Chains A and B, each alone.
Chain A
Amino acid sequence: MTTALALSPAAALDFVPGAPPPATLRADIWRGIAAENPVLVQMLGMCPTMAVTNVLANGIAMGVATTFVLVGSGLFVSLLRKYIAHEVRITSYILIIATFVTLADLLLAASFPEISKALGPFIPLIVANCLLLGRAEAFAAKVGPVRAVADGMGMGIGFTLSLAAMSAIRELLGRGSLLGFDILGPHWEPWVFMVLPAGGFFTLGLLLITAAWIDELRRRRRALEAK
């Protein structure tokens, strides 16, 4: 009965259950930015998305810190994937993620103290962002380090761009400024609503609708071209 299902010894060695299909590095990076954008498509990491996007600087800093953790933890999860026993993998991933989160927190406090103060507990809370554990378990643990880093970069850039878009809209309408520089002038009456939590939900809703709409338009165009 060593026929259809039997794998050659070499194939069995390389086989990782649930491994992502092979793809080019470019595709690995682009996946996180567009097709599987963490915020707009996967809807992961909603807590920081809501909490820190009231001004653009905070949104970008949170995105960059998360990217740092995604890339660092992806690399180490991938490098150590053959040494971490299945039974303790979640604990090990969290340990790796928590280490990079602590590093990000310290480095941010030493280099951008004002932003570090404004983000407060939300940097340490990256450790609880399901995006991190999600990518470790679903991707980094099943591929080589180069692909894991590419995926982390892509997801990080996608996360940062979404947060930047959210926070740019909220800061512009809610404070009339961007990165602290007055844009809309003294006659602009700030929509305080936009910097409050309700404005976050409102902005996210608008962004999700826009992303879905663009997606739909592209799908229709592709269907037309196929005809």
Chain B
Amino acid sequence: MTVTAQTGAYRPAPPPKWRPLTDAAPLLPDERPHRVLGTGAELDPALMSELYTQLVKGRRYNQQATALTKQGRLAVYPSSTGQEACEVAAALVLEERDWLFPSYRDTLAAVARGLDPAQALTLLRGDWHSGYNPLECRIAPLSTPLATQLPHAVGLAHAARLRGDDVVALALVGDGGTSEGDFHEALNFAAVWQAPVVFLVQNNGFAISVPLAKQTAAPTLAHKAVGYGMPGRLVDGNDAAAVHEVLADAVARARRGGGPTLVEAVTYRMEAHTNADDATRYRVDAEVEAWRAHDPVALLESELTRRGLLDEDGIAAAREAAERMAADLRDGMNAEADLDPMSLFDHVYAEQTTQLREQAEQLRAELAAADEHDEHDAPDPHAQHGQEDGR
């Protein structure tokens, strides 16, 4: 093959004619986090009503899931309390054919997209599988290793574009995740490939205990976009209308072939990292209280009420819907998990290897022996456990 037959982006250029590949100015983020609420900007009543209902449900979902950890019904729950505007807006900006790539803190986004709340929590309940079929809801399985889901979003969006499909991928990551190599590689690939993907960084102030100042020296996380040649957008992450607007712009841009966008939503993690964490070891209450005055649910509620877009009935209806959802979640979590130890061997490979067949037989024999043992030794210790858990 000769050089003249080369395809791709190579452009011969003599040294004196140096020029940047991309003009940086249009990529720079807004000087301040973009806001809609409180600015007098026009609001779409139907969208605001949907956002509000979902925010109220989202807050209730976070409370209920946290309560379930205290009852031993969930192994762990990383709460998104305080970040509901980001979670909900991310779900609502997507079309049905689009894909969502959540991290472990983003089960609410999956639920807001329509996933059954109990199903969304399968992994966090301590089961071995994602609980839902990602192909049916176009929600990737929750990613626990940080930022590793971002290159998946890029690859999927790239594949969709190659196939001529009008599909956008939206990937969620936290401020801590932006330090990971996969964040860098994903953004770089996305920009080089002009993949239809949107990255939403929820900057909630902490990576478990480590504050943002120890995570980055960049002016903002949105500035990182410039280095990859994609636009960076900075938005108030507690202003649901603003997050929705910025994400919707980015999704539309991606859909029309304009390439990826990095959005940084400035928000705050109101709860500890998870139920297993103690936030008082690394932050002061006064800071948390200051953010409580900028609560995403209260912000939207007061604005919509002031503008006459929401009344007492609307508030009551949203709260009722939230209670129904919470009751469903409790019911789902109180039902015994359908656990079959033999299923652990079913999906390791398309076809079981000889070695796994042998190991499955070993476990089957162990289970049979345990059953026999239980029959001879009443009372059954497993049954007792079941009763305790059932409180």
The answer to whether A and B interact is no
Give chain A's interface residues, CB within 8 Å of chain B. Answer: none
Give chain B's interface residues, CB within 8 Å of chain A. Answer: none
